[in-house]
Chain A
Amino acid sequence: MKISVGPAPSHWGRNKIESFYRELAQSPADYVYLGETICGCRSCFSPDFLGRICDEFTRAGKEVYASSLTLVTDEKQYRAFRDLAQRVQRIEINSPAFLGFARRYPAVTGIFLNVYNSAAADILAERKVKRIVLHPELGFQSVAIIAKRCTVDTEVVVHGHIPIAISAACQTARSLGRNGDGCGELCRRYPEGMVLEAGDRPLFRIEGPQTLSAATYCLVEYLPQLAKAGVNIVRVLPQWNHTGRIVRIYRDVLEYRRDCRDAAEELKAISPTGLCNGWFLGKAGWIYESPNMPPASTEIRSRSCVLPDGRLQKESNRRHYDANNFAREDWRRNLSSNDIILEVNQLVEMMNRNPQFIKQVTEFKGITLVLSATDTGREFTIELSKKGVRVCPYTDEPFDVKIRATEQVLWAVISGQMDADAAFFAGKASVSGSVVTAYRLKNRFLSLLQRHLAHRLEIEDKSVVK
């Protein structure tokens, strides 16, 4: 297996780039990628500069590729890469803008070309692409299938802050209260990006318009697996520090000079924001699990309440009957003509008489929806079962979903006068419980109800006309 070093992902400035590539020329990397892939505003890679580095690497016996921008939006960017490709004669295509170039130069496609299956890889092979860099989002299973089935070489990212997203807008400038235009290359001040935390956990790392993992992705312990799967090249992403050292560690492991457990320890020690490898294992990207150690404590926290089929465990409706709620006996007596419970009840009783509706409702096997009116304090329950729909004034039973809003909003959403999402966005309605069930009720049950309602109104209209 060969080792490649990806294009420098951040704005490091010319001096750092020079010293970085000088160090890299001495490293045991086989392939080197050069060029600005992230932001068209950055200026440290002039064609002359890149050409010179390219020559140095060639002399050092390394194969050099010119990497394209990921997002090409104007003719100038297109021409700049066309000229660079001409100079370097080998390319990494990161934007679909340059897919046609594969017929002219030996070409590799980068991760954001989104090759997710072996058939797509073969289609690129037919169009002269000779190697595919697989998206790190693809776990080992997909990597192994693609490597086995497709006719091109495969390259897998094994180390570094992995790319998660790229935007047309600059996150660094935004975070500093500036517009991306005329940014003065602010990102240069943060050569390792800015870490973003969610709930005290370092999660993302923003750098110009790209988002990377806060932690360092590290697959050193899985190198034997990758080699066995037939992956041809492993890619190390340039780090602000230690890139040459990292390449040597990977080389030593690949050549059986070093134990991968020991290598992982050393890599961990030089990764200040920790390691991650979840994507490779088919899990959330931020998770790190070592094959040699029990699963780390970073395991998903709140999943305990998610059932295997994806439903949330039912929450108990802890709000018991109180003075604000109507007792079951009082309930019917207290109804006024514009009472929402009466309206909903009439609506569902009418629907229940429609065998077509009952048939369609049976797909909701025993769902309990609680509607809670914030203005009157009343709650009532809609139960969906194979017998149809039932409305009752309150319940102590566990519920699947609870929606809170004023009576007016609740009725508007149910009867199809107000869009449920719009009510939510405006802060007029809140939802708790299982979000999956809430989506199903919104997308399916409400539309069923409204369709039958509309149908009935249509019939009534016609009978009025008669």
Chain B
Amino acid sequence: MTHKSKIQLNVPAGNLPSLMAAVDAGADSVYIGFRSPTNLRNLPGLNFSVEEASKAVQYAHRHGIRVYVTVNTYPMDHQLEECFRAVDDADDIGADAVIVADLAVLEYARSRHPRLDIHLSCVAGAADPGAVRFYREEFGVSCIIIPRVLSLEQIAALRQQTDVLLEVMVFGVLCANYDGRCCLSSFITGTSAHSIGACAPAEFVRFEETKGGHMTLELNGITINKFVATQERTYPTPCKGKYYNPVVGRRLHTFQEPCCLNALPLLPELVAAGVDIVKIEGRQRSAVYVRLVTSIWREAIDALNRSESFDHRKSENVALESVLEGIASSLGTLSGG
């Protein structure tokens, strides 16, 4: 299938200043969430009230930028109403699409809100043509956000089998596990990240400073990491923790080295693979982050559209790395292997 349209840049915003920064720095679309356990960045002080979200949509639309609202938790029965209301609100404020994972919320959006586009959240885990076909045919999703488990080659192969929009995460936090299939945080804390919308919820996190600026990270009273004074730190998520493995006799970053996704060097390949939208992670980050990351990706995409070269190793573009978690950036699974 042929794809001629230009690749779009989808940028996160956790509050109004970040949304304005995203719009001003050249996002094609911005994704946001409501201040409730209806989306997977349900963090203290973050996200939009319905009123703020309405302002956000007005601001973005004035600049010709689309707004997507994430309603991508897996709600339990008692939480369904709140998720349905979030979809209602997204429609009311004039958002362009909802990002959904749960079957009941998908069905609700499809049947009650035909005006809204439905994007399939990466936590639905649709990584192959069979899954894409199912969600497309049964719920009319117009865009699939690909879970962070595929290589570029596999994405290109998927492209050949579907005309649905394909969105790929290209920058930010890299979950170690298959999207929507990780309950490490829930196992430690007893709070379901899938249905509450927060991995390693703040109320369970404790940073304990010890001698010489060393720091111990506890989640629900269980030590999951220790940082040396000069060492880079990570979010308090269990997949970034260090665990003792008696077989190898050492404490290891069992799931993942502390690194983040930065696929900027692969942008031409992503375009060639037929990706429609590239997505930046980080609704929990500040407007500074949003502005910096958006403007560099914008510049890279524009250069590519003009068939000009873009030097991702140039100093200002290396600045991207400075806002990332951990010691190094990674291409994730995109590079294959």
Are A and B a genuine interacting pair, yes or no? yes
**Which residues of chain A have a CB within 8 Å of any CB of chain B?**
70-75, 78, 95-100, 112, 114-120, 123-124, 127, 135, 137-138, 142, 145-146, 149, 164-169, 171, 174-176, 179-181, 190, 194-199, 201, 203-204, 206, 211, 213, 278-279, 282-287, 300-303, 306, 310-312, 416-422, 424-427, 430-432, 435-447, 450-451, 454
B187 touches A435 (CB 8 A): no
A-B contact pairs, 18 of them (CB 8 A): A74-B128, A78-B130, A97-B128, A97-B129, A100-B130, A117-B77, A123-B107, A169-B333, A175-B248, A194-B245, A211-B177, A300-B220, A422-B323, A427-B233, A431-B207, A435-B236, A443-B284, A444-B45
Give A410 Cβ to nearest chain B Cβ, in Å. Answer: 15
Distance (whole angstroms) from the CB of B120 to the closest CB of chain A: 10
A443 near B248: Cβ-Cβ < 8 Å: no
User: Is there contact, CB below 8 Å, between B288 and A169?
Assistant: no
For chain B, residues 67 to 110, give those with C-beta under 8 angstroms from any C-beta of chain A: 74-80, 101-104, 107
A279-B187, A425-B324, A436-B44 known; A166 vs B107 contact (CB < 8 Å): no
B interface list, Cβ under 8 A from A: 14-18, 43-46, 74-80, 101-104, 107, 124-131, 133-135, 138, 148-150, 154, 157, 176-178, 180-184, 186-190, 192, 194-195, 202-209, 213, 215, 218, 220-224, 227, 229-236, 239, 241, 243-248, 252, 254-256, 284-289, 292, 322-326, 333, 337
Query: Once the chains bind, are A424 and B247 in contact (CB under 8 Å)?
Result: no
Query: Are the CB atoms of A119 and B245 closer together than 8 Å?
Result: no
Q: Chain A binding site: helix, strand, loop or mixed by DSSP?
A: mixed
Expressed in whole angstroms, the minimum distance between the Cβ of B52 and any Cβ of chain A is 11
Q: Are B233 and A425 in contact (CB under 8 A)?
A: yes
**CB of A91 to closest CB in B, whole Å:** 13
Once the chains bind, are B176 and A71 in contact (CB under 8 Å)?
no
Question: Nearest Cβ in chain B — how far from A108, in angstroms?
Answer: 16
CB neighbours of B232 from chain A (8 A): 425-427
Query: Which one of B150, B208, B213, B326 contacts A425 once the chains associate, using CB atoms below 8 Å?
Result: B326
Residues of A within 8 A of B78 (CB): 145
Nearest to B14 among chain A residues (CB) is A443
**Cα–Cα distance between A115 and B180 once the two chains are bound (Å):** 12
Q: Are A72 and B247 in contact (CB under 8 A)?
A: no
- Apart from A430-B213, A438-B202, 20 more pairs, CB < 8 Å: A96-B125, A99-B130, A114-B194, A117-B80, A119-B77, A135-B183, A137-B192, A169-B176, A169-B256, A176-B248, A194-B246, A203-B188, A206-B254, A286-B188, A287-B190, A421-B325, A427-B227, A431-B207, A435-B202, A436-B44
Given contacts A119-B107, A198-B241, contact A440 B44 (CB under 8 A): yes
| Neighbouring B residues of A73 by C-beta, 8 Å | 127-128, 149-150, 154
Q: Which residue of A lies closest to B73 (CB)?
A: A116
Are B186 and A137 in contact (CB-based, < 8 A)? yes
A301: B residues at CB distance < 8 A: 221
**What residues on A are CB-neighbors of B285 within 8 Å?**
419, 421
What is the bound-complex CA distance between A421 and B135, given in angstroms?
A: 36
Tell me which of A73, A74, A135 has the highest count of chain B C-beta atoms within 10 A of its own C-beta: A73
Complex Cα–Cα for A169 and B150 (A):
11
Chain B: minimal CB distance from A116 (Å):
4
Distance of A78 Cα from B195 Cα, bound (Å): 30
Cβ contacts under 8 Å, B102 to chain A: 114, 116-117, 120
**Residues A171 and B205 in contact, CB atoms below 8 Å apart:** no
Are the CB atoms of B131 and A96 closer together than 8 Å? yes
In the complex, what's the smallest C-beta–C-beta distance from B254 to chain A, in angstroms?
6
In the bound complex, do residue A75 and residue B288 qualify as a contact, i.e. CB atoms below 8 Å apart? no
Question: B163 CB to closest chain A CB, in angstroms?
Answer: 18
Contact A447–B17 (Cβ < 8 Å): yes
